[in-house]
Structure 1
Amino acid sequence: MTKLEAIAGCAHAGTLYGIGVGPGDVRYTTLRAAGLIGSVDVIAYFAKRGREGNARRIVSPLLSTGQREMRLEYPLTDEIPAADPAYRSAIAAFYAATADALSVELNGGRSVGLLAEGDPFFYGSFMHMWRRLEKHHPVEVVPGVTGMSGCWTRANAPITWGDDVLTVMPGTLPEATLIDRLSNADAAVIMKVGRNFAKVRRAIDAAGLLGRAIYVERGTMSEERVLPLCDHDGDVTVPYFAIILIPGQGRRL
């Protein structure tokens, strides 16, 4: 047994592990996550069609030689709006089939590590597997460093002070809703920016927060980009790994 295995523990047969792999830099992966990644029978990960899979890319230095992998390819991602009935139907069917495939592995006595970017219980696809499988199989969720905490750390921006309340919202919300919630927020994090970037930027400006907003792209990764939001062109589509931070201004001692 290696020192890492002694500290982090090994995988148990027939158990599903939801493994949070952190914000992008493999060095932010926890000891527990690293130990399981190297010891589970099967590594499973979600991926966009034609892409490697972000979570899989993050942990590639930790994978064992010859370890079996399950690539779980989404039928679609952002090709149509998430509220479209066609999207919901296709994704629901995909999650049901994926849960069945994972169940086959678990029933066969194999341990499965399902990778999750950031933390498994924070806007993660793993949650849909947890909901379908946790009553039928042993499941352990391994927390990970969230993308937002990785980003505010790399931006050198303390996000909350004193009694500040942090509001986290997806950029997919209607513009009027974003303006309303931002107008009442002490500090905010806006996720799922991507194709919603122009709308999100307008909402931040309308809420009077443009001067405090920070744009972070691919935080902790080699292509990291951090700049004041007001310096970013608002009429573009930004990458999936983009987030906007609005640090609080509460009590500072």
Structure 2
Amino acid sequence: MTKGSLYGVGIGPGDPELLTIKAHRIITTVPVIAYPTMENGKVLARAIVADFIRPEQIEVPMPLPFSVERSSQPYYDIAAAKIAEHLQVGRDVAVLCEGDPMLYGSFMYIFRRLADRFHTEVIPGISSTLASAAMLGAPLTFRNDVLSIMPATLDADTLHDRLAVADAAIIIKLGRHFAKIKSILQDLNLWERALYIERATLPNQVIKPISEVDPDNVTYWAIVMIPSQTNPQ
């Protein structure tokens, strides 16, 4: 029996119109759709492409913990096993991944578990990091600038050292780490350059001056951007 193909489909930052044509084709034609679900029951990835999923398609929810305190390995093991059952009997499976599958994407962990056993194809998507720059209307880099993308979950010393030498930077996974980021940016005199956005391209997108952000109410899906200071002229 011919095995099914595994597709890691980048579905972009939230706006369904930012799907690539290829992503749309795969999502609307495969017999099985898999997607991560959060601990609180929310299913953001599926919601982005809900209008494209057909009733006859098989859906495979993948419960995943998003808290750093809990190990995600057993959850990915379970998800990979469920997906493998469909692939083994010849059903193609599309795994939905917000943003781009290979940039902090949940699909990477499925890829590591299954790509050596099944034909696998990755469909790139627009990352929320780059979508945020577009929504903020702020060019990230010019000429020989080096862009650094770093998670706010890093320890303070590491973040401080990397931001100190960055031409331009994007800080992701803010959540409860905003106060730490604020302190570092102020110490490095980057606070005035910093831009803030939540849930880029989604209907509930929020852009506000970083000085008005309440540290106690920052979502995991928020980003701080430090654009380049290079003069492009």
TM-score by length of 1: 0.88
In the alignment, does 2:219 pair up with 1:239? yes
Asked whether the equivalents of residues 3 and 88 of structure 2 are also in contact (C-alpha less than 8 Å), the reply is: no
1:99 Cα deviation after fit: 1.2
Give ranges in structure 2 of 5+ residues lacking alignment: none
* Number of residue pairs aligned between Structure 1 and Structure 2: 232
1:19 Cα deviation after fit: 0.2
For residues 127 and 224 of structure 2, what CA distance do their matches in structure 1 show? 14
1:213 Cα deviation after fit: 0.5
Q: Deviations over 1:74-101 (max 9, x none)?
A: 2x322xxx2x5xx23xx21111121111
Quote the residue 1:67 is aligned against: 57
Q: Percent identical across equivalent pairs?
A: 38
1:45 Cα deviation after fit: 0.2
1:236 alignment partner, SS class: helix
Quote the residue 1:99 is aligned against: 80
Spell out the pairing of 1:78-89 with structure 2 (5 A cutoff). 78=67, 82=68, 84=69, 87-88=70-71
Asked whether the equivalents of residues 198 and 222 of structure 2 are also in contact (C-alpha less than 8 Å), the reply is: yes
In the alignment, does 2:91 pair up with 1:110? yes
Match of 1:226 among 192, 197, 207: 207
1:206 Cα deviation after fit: 1.4
For residues 17 and 170 of structure 1, what CA distance do their matches in structure 2 show? 26
Asked whether the equivalents of residues 3 and 118 of structure 2 are also in contact (C-alpha less than 8 Å), the reply is: no
Asked whether the equivalents of residues 13 and 99 of structure 2 are also in contact (C-alpha less than 8 Å), the reply is: yes
2:169 alignment partner, SS class: strand
For residues 39 and 77 of structure 2, what CA distance do their matches in structure 1 show? 18
For residues 237 and 231 of structure 1, do their structure 2 counterparts lie closer, same or farther at Cα, with a shift above 3 Å needed? closer
Match of 1:127 among 75, 95, 108: 108
1:45 alignment partner, SS class: strand
Spell out the pairing of 1:62-211 with structure 2 (5 A cutoff). 62-74=52-64, 76-78=65-67, 82=68, 84=69, 87-88=70-71, 91-211=72-192
For residues 251 and 45 of structure 1, what CA distance do their matches in structure 2 show? 42
Q: RMSD of aligned C-alpha atoms?
A: 1.4
For residues 39 and 5 of structure 2, what CA distance do their matches in structure 1 show? 27
1:13 Cα deviation after fit: 6.4
Asked whether the equivalents of residues 158 and 247 of structure 1 are also in contact (C-alpha less than 8 Å), the reply is: yes
Q: Deviations over 1:21-41 (max 9, x none)?
A: 001100001000001110011
Letter in 1 for 2:127: T
1:61 Cα deviation after fit: 1.5
